[in-house]
Structure 1
Amino acid sequence: MCCKVKVDNLKVENQVNPMGIDILKPRFSWTILSSNHNVLQTAYHIIVTDEQGIKVWNSNKVETDQSVWIEYNGSPLQSRTRYSWQVKIWDNHGNETDWSVPQNLEMGLLCKEDWLAAWIEPEQQEAVEEAEITVQDIFSGALKEESLEERTKNLHPPKRLRRLFTINKTVKKARLYMTSHGIYKLELNGRKLENIEFAPDFTAYNVHLQYQTYDVTGYINKGENALGVELADGWYIGRIQLTGHSCQYGNKLGVLLQLEIELEDGTKEIITSDEQFVSSSGPWQYADLFIGESYDARLEQENWSCAEYDAAEWTPVKRAEYSLGNLSAQYGPVVKAMEEIAPREIHYEEDGAQIIDFGQVIAGRMRIQMTVPRDTRIIFEHSEVLDENGKFFMNIMGRNKDQTNFYVAKGDDRETYEPSFVFHGFRYVRVTGHPTPIQTEDITAVVLYSDMEMTGNFTCSDERLNRLQQNIQWSQKTNMLSIPTDCPQRERAGWTGDIQVFAPTAAYNMDVSSFLTRWLKDVRLEQFPDGQIANYVPTGKYYVSESKASFGNLSSAGWGDAIIIVPWVLYERYGDTRILEENYTAMTKWLNYVRQTAESEIPDSLKDEQDAVRLNRQKYLWNTGFHFGDWLIPSMKDPIESALKTKELVATCFYANSALLLAKISIILGKKETAAMYEELNQQIRKAFEEEYIDKNGRVSSPTQGIYILALQMNMVSDSKRPLVVNQLAQLIKENGYKLDTGFLSIPYLMDVLCKEGEHETAYRLLFQTQCPSWLYEVENGATTIWESWSAIAPDGTVGYMSFNHYAFGCVGDWLYRYIAGINPGEPGYKTSIIEPHTDCGLTSAAAEINTKYGKLSSSWTKTDNLVTLIVEVPANTTATVVLSHKSNIRLNGTVLENDENERLQNQIGSGSYQFDFADNYVPQS
């Protein structure tokens, strides 16, 4: 044995000691720690045992360097059973590790028959359904203005449910399996269970409802016990998405619950959701995710989840019949209170309202402690921005977007209010009705998002870019609350196009593998029979009617393509082949829909076309129907204008790109004939695009920056015309004062295309641009997140009615990691990596690191005069290739290296830390 190498960070399905999973062949991963250089695993040995210590899988010694996503291959795993597993490895230096510390893996309820519980519903009025409206209704001003009081009169209160049970023997093990219609919190004998918010998460409930598993062994008393559940509308019943519709999945709150208790004498007690539960309304008048909540502390029921509480006046629940076919175990991270922020300042407005500034736009809620007279009614309004005069400003328009909480005090010496069933997108809170000055030490902002590991960071010598990186991370954290949302205030919807463009950046900053894998399950389940992919997921029951009324079709190019692009990103960044397998059928259905549409439809403008050659190539152009196109081009004030101007060229570019990606995926999955078919399709689409849309001078028929970028990125241009197209793009940027003019779908590729085509200086000028539109314009105007629109605060100071927290335009973060700091995946999951920093960017230092599935990978360079020091750290069981172009006198740990004939160094290194020193005489142009 050797202490120089050991295994660490053991995970099953990307989780540490997962509880209640239902994956029949879970996968194991670990990292390797070693003080040696150039360490590679040569073999592993895994042993899995059940609760009786019986081995259910003994892999024996397996000769391989694989240490991630290793699939279980033992006896079938059983419901409710906890398994223990250990691993040892051998390395290429002849070392054999000790066995790892045993880790756990526990299965949930694997069969529908395992559920003995029934759905129950508290006594309640059916929720009132909002009138159906369209997107146009919202922005046309056609909606009838109603006061908040009018709109909340039909809201119903959250419910509390409780049940008594008696346990007279010593408890050995207890598990609680739980889900709900609505969102819930659990208590057992007066104790809250775990820091989990908004369970059971937002999924496509009609086809995918998660249940959670809790270890409650230490919560159960010998004798009388009480189990308590709090239920609120959440996404299931409440007002959601842009149109603010309610009852998208149901109109009644409900619970499905099963408590299984194993006793030391070998017997078992099972407590299920049944008619022995009783319910009450509690202190809430209502709680709606978007509108806010109204809480009357005078109605609080102290110790309501304790056995001694008198619930004689509570009302019996009713049994309800719902299918259990949509149930699956929790997969991926739950939402938690992840951070807390102290206020920056508090000031008064003329009407006496107190404005609290937390200094950072977040998604979450505020906690306040106060001593106020009984019956005091306090109002808390939330917003992301002040107006141009420094006044509180409700920046979000639309139905039911109030983000307003009401609190009635009970008059204790010291009482605390923190909302339970709502979250808001905000930086500022306007407080009215509080009779005394609020003290900063009495308030805290609680930041909520799904519990994902922060895996990466980028820093450099320019503090403005560091602030940009922080803004990107903040927009990511606060828009990854249960699903990947576009914004945490107006829509909170899982827009497929937004996460498609941002996924590469997201995978640097956080471990999003399980989070996006779960969301992709809903994307697949909600795919339409003809193959269309919804523009946002989960959809809800109004999606079809809203989409057809607003746009005429159910999907859009660049949005629907997320079913191919997002799994591809996850495969590249995490090395997970199963994600490709799970989504492959949905990918092919989507591309078949696109292909059939392209082949069967032609634009109205070509109905009388006589040119047979032109008509023939139309079947390779996706040029009909509505698409969002290169959405939100800055120079076009109306986003619909940008859609109409760019839609058919954008759609055809993405058609070609998805065909090529699907060809690559088919090769990986061993489908060679299918791959060849998609490769041929890609070539035909590219040929047709150039013939139809690009003239002899390299000018495209819809000459925007974004179209040139997509055409170059997706190889829609032949080699002979490529320089001409690059010149057209460079000229457009120059004529625009070296400012970007790209929309949602093209901006992810802007910097890469410029750098690849030799326009490095243009890319750097865009990066450091401070006029609107630019990333640093937002930073210099006080942004703490990424804005939906570059001109959310106009150059004249006018503040717009829009979201100040959209991550899409933050996709430049991917380029900062890859290009400036130089960290690139080589083989999927960083089994190999490419370190290629660009020290000619005008910075004097840059550094990035990412915790890969193999461990920490980092690249850090510092420039003094013309001398550069680059330090690279490579995790064990991987290798890296360091690429340095046009550098001289390169030294590695003091030893001179030789460039190749192209003045390009490619040096392969193994695990460990390395220092490269070289001269760089680059002088940035003015």
Structure 2
Amino acid sequence: MALGDLEVGQLLCESMVNPVGIDILVPRFSWQLKSVRRGVLQAAYRIMVADTEEKLSQGTDLIWDSGKVQSDESVFCAYEGEQLISRKRYYWRVKVWDQTGAESEWSTVAYWEMGLMQREDWKALWIEPKQEPVVEDSILSLREALQYNEPTDTSILHPCPLLRKSFFIPSNLRKARLYATAHGTYVFQINGQKVGNQELAPEFTSYDRYLQYHTYEVTDLVKKGANALGAILSDGWYAGRIGLSGNSCQYGDRLGLLFQLELEYEDGTQEIIISDHNVKSSFSHILYSDQFIGEKVDARLMKDGWALPDYDDSSWDHVDVAHFDISNLVAHYGEPVRVVEKLPVVQVITTPKGETVVDFGQVMAGRVSMSVTGLAGTEIILEHSEVLDEQGNFLNNIMGRHKDQKDIYILRGGEPETFEPSFTFHGFRYVKVTGYPGIVLPEHFTAIVLSSDMRYTGSFECSDERINRLQQNIVWSQKSNMLSIPMDCPQRERAGWSGDIQVFVPTAAFNMDVHVFLTRWLRNLALEQLPNGEIPNGAPYHKSFRYIDHTLMGKDSSAGWGDAIIIVPWALFQAYGDVQVLEEFYDSMVRWISYIRRTAEDEMPDNYEQMDDEQKERQKYLWNTGYHFGDWLFPSAATPTESAMMTKEVVSTSFFAYSTLLLSKIAAILGRHSDAEEYSVLNGHIRNAFSEEYLNDEGMLSAHFQGAYVLALQFGLVPEMARIKVVEQLVSLIEGNGYRLDTGFVSVPFLLDVLCKYGKREIAYMLLFQTECPSWLYEVERGATTIWESWSAIQPDGKVSSMSFNHYAFGCVGDWLYREIGGLHKEQVGYKKINIQPAVDCGLSYASAKYESRYGTIVSGWSKQGRQFTVEVIIPTNTTGTVMLPSANLENVKESGIPLRETLGFISFQQMNLGVSVLLGSGNYRFTYSLE
């Protein structure tokens, strides 16, 4: 039975739209259903896969036909056909049946294409252009890096190499694919046109273990006759100066390139053009390019037409063939870094010092495009910063070596010129311009925003414009810091700190589709796991990162940071319903918990011998030795180190308990029931040891700070009989601090939830609307356009600090805003079941949260005018939802103007003490009623 209104769309393969060049042997399919009818659920589906669109449309000679599968699942449905083949493109479509037997038409056709699956598929050779090895910097300790104030010696930097190879196409092409990667970062051209729209490829990974190659569709760039393939290389993350210590050569000191251009002709014959000794190299007009230091270009040295077929490269050098194992090559997975936005200049400022500063009005990550006309040899310097100082002068607020963030352009002269760096990016809002010929006008400059090009999935707004600005700040910090990896900041360290992302991941997963992006990062984190089970504090864990950790901590991991190997997969499972992400990292989770367990059992605190037998017995369940970051950067601590020292013991044991609890749940989901029982029992021992060791009869913790109480309550570490007293201790601390928060990185995600859970919702609202430092709205009222690293990055007296003004960690409040203020909760993982609970008592007159789930659009919107209350809800097809109408009486509720009791399409409704609860099928709904 066909029914015209039942449609299937939004087809995804491995959470991506028509991915090209993947190496996943068992891809999974997802789709969305749409119907104008309410209450529609999928009852069955059928997937077809073929190697041509014609075969697929005819339903003949298929690669795989699932047949009619009785299932309500429309996400992560696994391919079960014959083994997939390298390079091959596969086409697929799906149809569904709903619970009434109604049948949809076939969906539109989608596809995916395999990359190079086997090592023998690679015919190309690693090549290295003629070059001087990158000079390896001395490595600095944390203290040395923060105090470093020497000017950057750019004389040791080298020009970016050019490489080119000519080739001839004898007949008409059917298909052309370029497979490429590099030691360093690269840009390819074919016949003078840029290949692809990716930036900073192959991006930032643990190069020695996980080096991505990209697959480019280049059929339209290659022509019959003479052709040329060109590439430019830069140091990038591979050899450049990265991390807080800013030392070079993280993975090597020579740049290299690997490419394979595969051609398929109309007659079916094939040809492969590879990187080999026939490639030639020279040096470019880019005198140097470093992601931290910046880029310097001398336009007078441009080699016009260098990537065109007829260019004379007779004076160029032949490259050297290098020998590297290719077992670390993996297909690029997920959304690449791209230009995602362009921003105009808001104003051109002449500062009190007389300097010219361009203001883009928004802190961001990216670079600047400049148009200019002037005399040959004119040198223009662009310096980047996030903030002006208290007098309104340009301020380089970045700490660490190679903090310049300075781009330099030397004019060719004559015609109008455009400069935009190719291989660097900066964290900035303001650009100081020196040497520009003539008057600097706004139209001369454009900000180029870079980010991993993830799909936006969530939005939130309310009646308070300050909260709306806070939401924008959260999104901008996420956009700025999800550039290839989840960074802490886009200017100072640009490191993949695991603690930052584990606190932010629920917020991140609402705002954007981070499923593939964070899965890729987790693969790097798992690869960096040490033999003893330690999960390092971030990934990629390059040598600069490792050295800073060792000089600060004496080890590689910290509680709340290494736990990301459990917390982040769990959050992805919750957001997307992907069980495979739990399975993939399960062994790493187990090894991490085993490391903590051994540490707790084998390492004892200094006063161990003075303990009685009962105290000694519980020490093996307390993670109370070694250095940890604790509740990092809680405001009342004088220094970050002090915040760590005062809270580390309670925080580390709290995360020991939390991670074992999560691992028990994960094991149960995966059917590992003996493991689930083991970790559940271990969690019980830790909880008991925690309360006996750190909690007294008055409900006071030994670490008497807000964050310690928040974690203890959130992670279930407080015995039931003591919870009221512990909550009162937390409330007393908040009241004593003038109703201001005093929580750090790892506790702030749970602060408002804990208050709401234990009946202190009004205090949660007071903290949200607080405008004195420290608070979210304090930052907003001081002009923040992103989330700050420190609550007092600009102090109440106006003093501007050298902290980062673009750190997303404290933006984790977004998750609470969407759930508690917007009222949008997931009742089942992946939003298969939805729970809408508007917060009518929060002091706002309206709020709306919207989320594009894998099943479709979910909306929770509410408004209040006097005693009149309206709730607007959208529940996607193939899901159900429960809506709580607060303080409503069943007799005066209307839906779309019709009394609720007379409305069709509801599963059920009932009067409850708190209001009316309505169980909904899919559809659009509008409830109105007067508040009791």
Shared fold, TM over 0.5: yes
Question: Residues 351 and 906 from structure 1, CA distance in 2 versus in 1: closer, same or farther, beyond 3 angstroms?
Answer: closer
> Alpha-carbon deviations, 1:175-194, whole Å to 9, x = none?
11000000111110111112
Letter in 2 for 1:247: C
| Residue 215 of structure 1, aligned match among 210, 214, 217 | 217
Offset at residue 675 of structure 1 (A):
0.3
Contact 2:351 2:392 in 1 (8 A): no
Offset at residue 543 of structure 1 (A):
4.1
Match of 1:644 in 2: 645
Match of 1:605 in 2: 607
> Alpha-carbon deviations, 1:627-662, whole Å to 9, x = none?
000000101120110100000100011100000100
Match of 1:850 in 2: 851
Contact 2:261 2:274 in 1 (8 A): yes
Question: Residues 266 and 370 from structure 1, CA distance in 2 versus in 1: closer, same or farther, beyond 3 angstroms?
Answer: same
Contact 2:243 2:544 in 1 (8 A): no
Match of 1:256 in 2: 258
Worse-matched range after superposition: 546-555 or 469-478: 546-555
Contact 2:352 2:393 in 1 (8 A): no
Match of 2:925 in 1: 914
Contact 2:246 2:544 in 1 (8 A): no
Offset at residue 132 of structure 1 (A):
1.2
Q: Distance in 1 between matches of 2:746 and 2:144?
A: 26
| Residue 76 of structure 1, aligned match among 79, 83, 94 | 83
1:633-712 alignment runs, 5 A limit: 633-712=634-713
> Alpha-carbon deviations, 1:243-286, whole Å to 9, x = none?
11110011111011001101111211110000111111110110
Residues 1:836 and 2:837 aligned together: yes
Contact 1:161 1:228 in 2 (8 A): yes
Match of 1:397 in 2: 399
| Residue 557 of structure 2, aligned match among 555, 558, 566 | 555
Q: Distance in 2 between matches of 1:543 and 1:400?
A: 15
Offset at residue 886 of structure 1 (A):
4.1
Offset at residue 311 of structure 1 (A):
1.3
Partner of 1:218, secondary structure, is coil
Letter in 1 for 2:762: E
Offset at residue 322 of structure 1 (A):
0.3
Offset at residue 350 of structure 1 (A):
5.6
Q: Distance in 1 between matches of 2:717 and 2:787?
A: 30
Offset at residue 17 of structure 1 (A):
1.0
Match of 1:60 in 2: 67
Q: Distance in 2 between matches of 1:105 and 1:892?
A: 47
Match of 2:239 in 1: 237
Q: Distance in 2 between matches of 1:236 and 1:725?
A: 49
Worse-matched range after superposition: 513-522 or 896-905: 896-905
Letter in 2 for 1:261: L
Report the number of matched residues: 915
> Alpha-carbon deviations, 1:808-846, whole Å to 9, x = none?
000000000001111111111111111112110000000
Match of 1:146 in 2: 150
| Residue 101 of structure 2, aligned match among 85, 94, 115 | 94
Q: Distance in 1 between matches of 2:325 and 2:253?
A: 16
Q: Distance in 1 between matches of 2:754 and 2:794?
A: 29
Question: Residues 584 and 251 from structure 1, CA distance in 2 versus in 1: closer, same or farther, beyond 3 angstroms?
Answer: same
Offset at residue 435 of structure 1 (A):
2.4
Match of 2:905 in 1: none
Partner of 1:10, secondary structure, is strand
Contact 1:352 1:432 in 2 (8 A): no
In structure 1, list runs of 5 or more residues that go unmatched.
922-926
| Residue 139 of structure 2, aligned match among 132, 140, 156 | 132
Q: Distance in 1 between matches of 2:196 and 2:260?
A: 17
Match of 1:110 in 2: 117
Letter in 2 for 1:834: N
Offset at residue 352 of structure 1 (A):
4.8
Offset at residue 94 of structure 1 (A):
2.8
Match of 1:535 in 2: 537
Contact 2:889 2:911 in 1 (8 A): no
Letter in 2 for 1:831: K
Letter in 1 for 2:638: K
Letter in 1 for 2:677: A
Offset at residue 401 of structure 1 (A):
1.3
1:505-520 alignment runs, 5 A limit: 505-520=507-522
Offset at residue 221 of structure 1 (A):
1.1
Q: Distance in 2 between matches of 1:606 and 1:895?
A: 69
* Percent of aligned positions that are identical: 53
Superposition RMSD on alpha carbons, in Å?
A: 1.2
1:487-502 alignment runs, 5 A limit: 487-502=489-504
Q: Distance in 2 between matches of 1:393 and 1:146?
A: 17
Letter in 1 for 2:634: I
> Alpha-carbon deviations, 1:726-775, whole Å to 9, x = none?
00100110010000000000000000000110001111100000000000
> Alpha-carbon deviations, 1:554-607, whole Å to 9, x = none?
100000000000000000000111100100000000011011111111211223
1:203-602 alignment runs, 5 A limit: 203-349=205-351, 352-602=354-604
Q: Distance in 2 between matches of 1:413 and 1:225?
A: 29
Q: Distance in 1 between matches of 2:588 and 2:911?
A: 45
Runs of 4+ aligned structure 1 residues displaced above 6 Å come to none
Letter in 2 for 1:464: R
Q: Distance in 1 between matches of 2:886 and 2:681?
A: 35
Match of 2:42 in 1: 41
> Alpha-carbon deviations, 1:370-414, whole Å to 9, x = none?
111111001000000000000000011110111001110011321
> Alpha-carbon deviations, 1:877-916, whole Å to 9, x = none?
1111113444435625133467545334332101101122
Letter in 2 for 1:130: D
Contact 1:892 1:914 in 2 (8 A): no
Residues 1:627 and 2:628 aligned together: yes
Match of 1:806 in 2: 807
Question: Residues 899 and 6 from structure 1, CA distance in 2 versus in 1: closer, same or farther, beyond 3 angstroms?
Answer: closer
Q: Distance in 2 between matches of 1:832 and 1:216?
A: 43
Structure 1 length normalisation: TM-score? Answer: 0.98
Partner of 2:804, secondary structure, is coil
Letter in 2 for 1:876: T
Letter in 2 for 1:578: Q
Letter in 1 for 2:151: S
Match of 2:58 in 1: none
Match of 2:22 in 1: 21
Match of 1:616 in 2: 617
Q: Distance in 1 between matches of 2:340 and 2:455?
A: 11
Partner of 2:720, secondary structure, is coil
Question: Residues 919 and 655 from structure 1, CA distance in 2 versus in 1: closer, same or farther, beyond 3 angstroms?
Answer: farther
Q: Distance in 2 between matches of 1:599 and 1:620?
A: 7
Worse-matched range after superposition: 779-788 or 93-102: 93-102
Worse-matched range after superposition: 348-357 or 325-334: 348-357
Q: Distance in 2 between matches of 1:866 and 1:815?
A: 26
Partner of 2:241, secondary structure, is coil
Question: Residues 47 and 122 from structure 1, CA distance in 2 versus in 1: closer, same or farther, beyond 3 angstroms?
Answer: same
Q: Distance in 1 between matches of 2:751 and 2:315?
A: 65
Partner of 1:176, secondary structure, is strand
Structure 2 length normalisation: TM-score? Answer: 0.97
Offset at residue 342 of structure 1 (A):
0.5
Q: Distance in 1 between matches of 2:544 and 2:375?
A: 45
Offset at residue 91 of structure 1 (A):
1.0
Partner of 2:206, secondary structure, is coil
Q: Distance in 2 between matches of 1:902 and 1:445?
A: 54
Match of 1:924 in 2: none
Contact 2:478 2:508 in 1 (8 A): yes
Partner of 1:871, secondary structure, is strand
Partner of 2:207, secondary structure, is coil
Q: Distance in 1 between matches of 2:411 and 2:528?
A: 44
Q: Distance in 2 between matches of 1:392 and 1:661?
A: 47
Contact 1:275 1:319 in 2 (8 A): yes
